[in-house]
Structure 1
């Protein structure tokens, strides 16, 4: 009985060894493939629902409400700055021919009487301003407004953004700095031809009742010099030596409810009868001649082509 069992185990052992040898020989003779298949991204095809072919798409909000889902409403919010107003409330209308007509002439007397009629609303606004600012007086405020104007333009020519922000409002700042990135500004206050005076005052509220802002219009007649140079150092506008008479109506604003509020330059009122501004001289590149390789440019014998007139401003 023991001999047949032994013969059976020996036969199984030999068969197993021969099978392992055959597998090893197969691996050696036939190496694995060089490129192995990689599993790619699954792409699902969603078949259309039954009976929806040719129908219009339904409102997703209505479907969500029918399913009992609540979709959050999206609001188009715009930032609001309560440190200053967005414009000039009831702007002052300068009389035509101001600073040119005498107060003793017939037309000058008409302008004077019209200003007296419009001063009633200004007096009420000045009373409201004095309730929040006890040191406010029209005479001293006109001089203070002129100082704010001079300091703001000096810091503008020096490109001091921090000091300029403290003297002008958030509405006036982009108007003063727009387009001045690669320019050089030379501005100087020469003298005051007439003492500045307060001609208009309003005290509007914004957002809620009682949130008061004071807007005071100051008339300023002075001599100034202005010169603007482009990035190449060429003069674009004005002159540094020749002063000009400038009549301006400045709007100074303050948030009266804020105890730390300050009077700042808010804007200017340009009357419709004001003369047009001087045109801006822009630097243009004149194309030169096309030279061949090895050819030199002779500036003496080259005639500069004349450019066609172009209207830069309308």
Structure 2
């Protein structure tokens, strides 16, 4: 059913709209849209309100008296080597300086026999049948020389195979901006085994073999700083060195091998030579329009550098 709207009524409504648009009182209430350039706003992700309303089940179970599993802070450890030297060898005072026929020399020899008698060579031979106190010093000496040559050349891959994870940081610490020259000259005395221990770590039966080797040899060492200036030693002057070097092997590992583990420095050892450090001589304070003249820059002897 259709309804007919009179034409006069439609014309009346259109006239009323036009009159309303021309009325200034009506125009002031019309919304004005003015485009403005605002600051660029980056996307800000919405916060996850769901986390605020989560229920801590562990706290509720703890309040209810339910025993929960304790969390442990785990730290990775390395079982391929030990963290130190167990029962270190005590070098006799005056070693390599006393005659074996003197009273002090006989006392020194007796102390060496006492310490070696308490060693645990039998357990090492049980896990390493090739170990022999007569043949081991020559093998250990080759490891010692190769390790120091790799350190001078900074061959990291080869050095990791020759030294333990405990010894590696001690050898490379502070050598980043230095140049090292090292050379093995000759052995003054044949190296020999003076001490052996077989400790366990982590669990009983996880055995490690530690053998102390006495090495008396002659070497050439020179250390240069990053400017090429000599800090320690001399390339043209070989020096006599007496060291007590500890080698270690993980006996329970069938693929383990003997590696350099550390050195024993006795209390009576003489102090090391001081390091010659490179210092900067302060020059004159120049103004922006002045120039530096070398013949005028003389440092008096009374002033300390």
| Both proteins in one fold, TM over 0.5 | yes
Counterpart in the other structure of 1:45: none
The CA RMSD over aligned residues, in Å, is 3.3
Counterpart in the other structure of 2:96: 99
The alpha-carbon deviation at position 74 of structure 1 amounts to 4.9
Counterpart in the other structure of 2:232: 237
Identify the match of residue 216 of structure 1 among 189, 211, 217. 211
Aligned residues: 287
Further displaced range: 181-190 or 3-12: 3-12
Counterpart in the other structure of 1:15: 16
The alpha-carbon deviation at position 303 of structure 1 amounts to 1.5
The alpha-carbon deviation at position 109 of structure 1 amounts to 0.8
Identify the match of residue 276 of structure 1 among 236, 261, 271. 271
Measure, in 2, the Cα distance between the counterparts of 1:271 and 1:154.
25
The DSSP-based 3-state class of the residue aligned with 2:134 is helix
The alpha-carbon deviation at position 3 of structure 1 amounts to 10
Check 1:3–1:107 CA distance in 2 against 1; reply closer, same or farther (3 A cut): closer
The alpha-carbon deviation at position 96 of structure 1 amounts to 0.4
The DSSP-based 3-state class of the residue aligned with 1:151 is helix
The DSSP-based 3-state class of the residue aligned with 2:142 is helix
Measure, in 1, the Cα distance between the counterparts of 2:275 and 2:155.
25
TM value normalised by structure 2: 0.83
The alpha-carbon deviation at position 243 of structure 1 amounts to 0.9
Measure, in 1, the Cα distance between the counterparts of 2:169 and 2:30.
80
Counterpart in the other structure of 1:111: 108
The alpha-carbon deviation at position 70 of structure 1 amounts to 8.4
The alpha-carbon deviation at position 16 of structure 1 amounts to 4.6
Measure, in 1, the Cα distance between the counterparts of 2:100 and 2:165.
38
Counterpart in the other structure of 1:80: 77
Measure, in 1, the Cα distance between the counterparts of 2:250 and 2:23.
97
Task: After TM superposition, list the pairs within 5 Å mapping 1:1-314 onto structure 2.
Answer: 5-16=6-17, 30-32=32-34, 34=36, 65-66=62-63, 73-122=70-119, 125-306=120-301, 308=304
The DSSP-based 3-state class of the residue aligned with 1:236 is strand
Unpaired segments ≥5 residues, structure 2: 47-57
The DSSP-based 3-state class of the residue aligned with 1:139 is coil
The DSSP-based 3-state class of the residue aligned with 1:249 is strand
Measure, in 2, the Cα distance between the counterparts of 1:159 and 1:27.
85
